[in-house]
Structure 1
Amino acid sequence: MTQQKTLAVIGTGVIGNGWIARFLAGGHQVIAFDPAPGAEENTVNFLKEIWPMLKTHGCLGASSIDNLRFASTAKEAVQDAYLIQENVPEQEELKKKVIAEVDAEAPADAIIASSTSGYKPSVLQEGCHHHPERVIVAHPFNPVYLIPLVELAGGKQTDRSFLEQAEAFYGSLHMKPLVMSGEIDGHIGDRLMEAIWREALHIVNDGVATTEEVDAAIVYGPGLRWALMGPFLTLHLAGGKQGMKHMLEQFGPALKLPWTRLVAPELTPELREKVIQGTKEQSGEVPVSELEQRRDRFLIKLMKLLEEENFWPAERVGHHG
């Protein structure tokens, strides 16, 4: 059984609360800090709502909601922490300021992990004058309490040992830590999603398809395959017995055709309205909370299926032989 650790969570929005749920489900103690009014009440209500589901899927060891407490300052939250998970809004100066403050107060051997979806760890550790070597990116995917992927990246000053510790720790939470070979703005998953998002906006903007038709094109086609194999292995199979070699010979020339547009379209009032109205029609009268519950039920079933297939795409990630 994993030894119980004290973990700090700074910032308790959607992602911060997701981490709190995951850490508590893993049997750990969590000390949270968020200066926003009503933050503690929001977190407690969120946990009460999802805890019955987590008890049947995701709880490990002696897990309990009672293992959470809120601190009155960031200093108090981090002083005994093994790992600090930072989740403040995506503003570079704010993140650097908070991480520098945490660096000044946390134990020297504590891991400082940022949930940033965009910034490189090298940028985030620039303001740290104590132990920048323990600052990393640990970028999760929503909902954090269910989705296993966490992208780990070190910066120019990061000591590899902290990445290895983080990989082992997140792995102990039944996550799939993906240790990146380098660092890049937006990491891996978000850059790929962003490319599809840009193209989807062009398609809707040009009146080629509605938001519902775009979603259907992913859900009933490539999305099903990607859940198991990802884009590279999926295309490897598209090449028949010769695999990727034949696929590149056959479809490589199509890469030069102007099918896709990598530059995002201008978010005009008209495009905004198309996207807002389109998704409103898709969801109908169903509230977001109900859609979230449906998503969570589906994800649990899908992950069980992947386990049955004994095929986690990230199974060998981090073992660079």
Structure 2
Amino acid sequence: MSEIARTSVIGAGLIGASWAALFLASGRSVAVFDPAAGTEAAVRDHVRTAWPAMTRIGLTKRGDPDRITFHPSPEEAVDGADFIQESVPERIAMKHDTYARIEPRLSSRAIVASSASGLTLGQMQKGWRSPGRFILGHPFNPPHLIPLVELMANEGTQPGVIEAAEAFYADIGKTTIRVQKEVPGHVANRLQAAIWREAIHLVESGVASVGDVDKAIASGPGLRWATMGPTTLFGLGAGQGGLAAFCDHFADTFNGWWDDLGSPRLNAANAKLLEEGLAEANEGRTVAELSQRRDAMLVAIQRALAELEPD
């Protein structure tokens, strides 16, 4: 088990509450701050809801859902914490204000990781007097079920901090990657954005409906992507020749496809088109119902993959 025993969650919306559930499942204590009314009830309910799914994929063996406390200020919530996951709204002034408030109260050994998806590490570091123990720790939603965390440090980060964060995240069941160059959206969100851009283009162009585009991903490459990444999979696509043979055989094909890809921009008109298409595809199912089904499927996939892991 990582040396990190006491955690804090600053910002307890959907992402923060999910982090809190996962930290509790790993046997850590969690101190929470969020200024919104009803935070305690909402987070406790989220933990209760998330616990069975985490149990089914083996994440709660050390856990105790009652080791959670709620605090009236971020300063109090981080007092004595070894690891702080910051998930406040992605407004840079709000981030900087939060950092200015908590920095004087942090332990000299504490690590602070931001869940930010739309802000860069460099932008956020400007809110710190000494940003050496502050890193990017961007999850995928919902964090208590999706293993990925994108980590980033830079020349302003103290030696050993990113390695300690990797060890902590691994101990709570996460899979980490390192972002080596600062770009908007990091890695996985840029890949998602590229796919969704073409999905929107296909719908706008009348090639397929919203529902059928979603089916094409979920019942096609999405299943493969749950097992391996695209480059690895294409490396299997030419048999013993590997990726070199695949690239040689399909270079003209892919270059032609890339030349023909769309480049739409999100606007009121295509947002309405997508919303109407999604409503038709979902056949009246609510957001809560769809979320429950998504989580059940995520659990099933991870349990199936776990059976293939060596003992």
Q: Would you call these one fold, judging by a TM-score over 0.5?
A: yes
**Residue 79 of structure 1: aligned partner:** 79
CA distance 1:33–1:231, change in 2 (3 Å): same
Shift of residue 155 of structure 1? 2.9
Q: Is the 8 Å Cα contact of residues 4 and 29 (structure 1) preserved in structure 2?
A: no
CA distance 1:184–1:159, change in 2 (3 Å): farther
* Equivalent position SS for 1:112: strand
Could you tell me which amino acid in structure 1 is paired with residue 261 of structure 2?
T
* Equivalent position SS for 2:297: helix
CA distance 1:167–1:4, change in 2 (3 Å): closer
Q: Is the 8 Å Cα contact of residues 25 and 58 (structure 1) preserved in structure 2?
A: no
Distance in 2 between the 1:284 and 1:46 partners?
Answer: 26
Shift of residue 243 of structure 1? 1.1
Which runs of structure 2 are paired with 1:263-278 in the superposition (5 Å)?
Answer: 263-267=263-267, 269-278=268-277
Could you tell me which amino acid in structure 2 is paired with residue 283 of structure 1?
N
Distance in 2 between the 1:156 and 1:205 partners?
Answer: 44
Which runs of structure 2 are paired with 1:305-316 in the superposition (5 Å)?
Answer: 305-310=304-309
**Residue 144 of structure 2: aligned partner:** 145
Summarize deviations over 1:243-293 as a string: whole Å, max 9, x none.
Answer: 1111111222234322213x33241x3312211111112222222222222
Shift of residue 2 of structure 1? 5.4
Distance in 2 between the 1:254 and 1:56 partners?
Answer: 43
CA distance 1:168–1:33, change in 2 (3 Å): same
Q: Is the 8 Å Cα contact of residues 2 and 168 (structure 2) preserved in structure 1?
A: no
Once the two structures are overlaid, the 10-residue window that deviates more, 133-142 or 155-164, is: 155-164
Give the root-mean-square deviation of aligned CA atoms. 1.8
Once the two structures are overlaid, the 10-residue window that deviates more, 100-109 or 189-198, is: 100-109
Once the two structures are overlaid, the 10-residue window that deviates more, 55-64 or 109-118, is: 55-64
Distance in 2 between the 1:253 and 1:53 partners?
Answer: 45
**Residue 172 of structure 2: aligned partner:** 173
**Residue 162 of structure 2: aligned partner:** 163
Could you tell me which amino acid in structure 2 is paired with residue 289 of structure 1?
A
Shift of residue 61 of structure 1? 4.4
The reply on whether 1:32 has 2:32 as its aligned counterpart is yes
**Residue 250 of structure 1: aligned partner:** 249
The reply on whether 1:227 has 2:229 as its aligned counterpart is no
CA distance 1:2–1:155, change in 2 (3 Å): closer
TM-score, normalised via structure 2 length: 0.93
Could you tell me which amino acid in structure 2 is paired with residue 37 of structure 1?
A
Distance in 1 between the 2:191 and 2:155 partners?
Answer: 24
**Residue 65 of structure 2: aligned partner:** 65
CA distance 1:166–1:224, change in 2 (3 Å): same
Shift of residue 105 of structure 1? 2.2
* Equivalent position SS for 1:229: coil
Q: Is the 8 Å Cα contact of residues 2 and 167 (structure 2) preserved in structure 1?
A: no
Which runs of structure 2 are paired with 1:182-197 in the superposition (5 Å)?
Answer: 182-197=181-196
**Residue 316 of structure 1: aligned partner:** none
Structure 1: 5+ residue stretches without partners: 312-321
Distance in 2 between the 1:53 and 1:241 partners?
Answer: 40
Paired-residue identity, %? 37
**Residue 319 of structure 1: aligned partner:** none
Distance in 1 between the 2:53 and 2:222 partners?
Answer: 25
**Residue 260 of structure 2: aligned partner:** 259
Q: Is the 8 Å Cα contact of residues 78 and 106 (structure 1) preserved in structure 2?
A: yes
Summarize deviations over 1:201-228 as a string: whole Å, max 9, x none.
Answer: 1111222211101111111111111111
* Equivalent position SS for 2:145: coil
The reply on whether 1:124 has 2:124 as its aligned counterpart is yes
Could you tell me which amino acid in structure 2 is paired with residue 202 of structure 1?
H
* Equivalent position SS for 2:101: helix
* Equivalent position SS for 1:63: coil
Shift of residue 96 of structure 1? 2.7
Shift of residue 294 of structure 1? 1.5
Structure 2: 5+ residue stretches without partners: none
Summarize deviations over 1:112-155 as a string: whole Å, max 9, x none.
Answer: 100011222122111211x3111101111111111111111113
Runs of at least 4 residues off by over 3 Å: 1-4, 55-62
Distance in 2 between the 1:4 and 1:178 partners?
Answer: 20
Summarize deviations over 1:173-195 as a string: whole Å, max 9, x none.
Answer: 01112223333221111110010
Tell me how many residue pairs correspond in the alignment. 308
Shift of residue 156 of structure 1? 3.2
Q: Is the 8 Å Cα contact of residues 18 and 46 (structure 2) preserved in structure 1?
A: no
Could you tell me which amino acid in structure 2 is paired with residue 139 of structure 1?
H
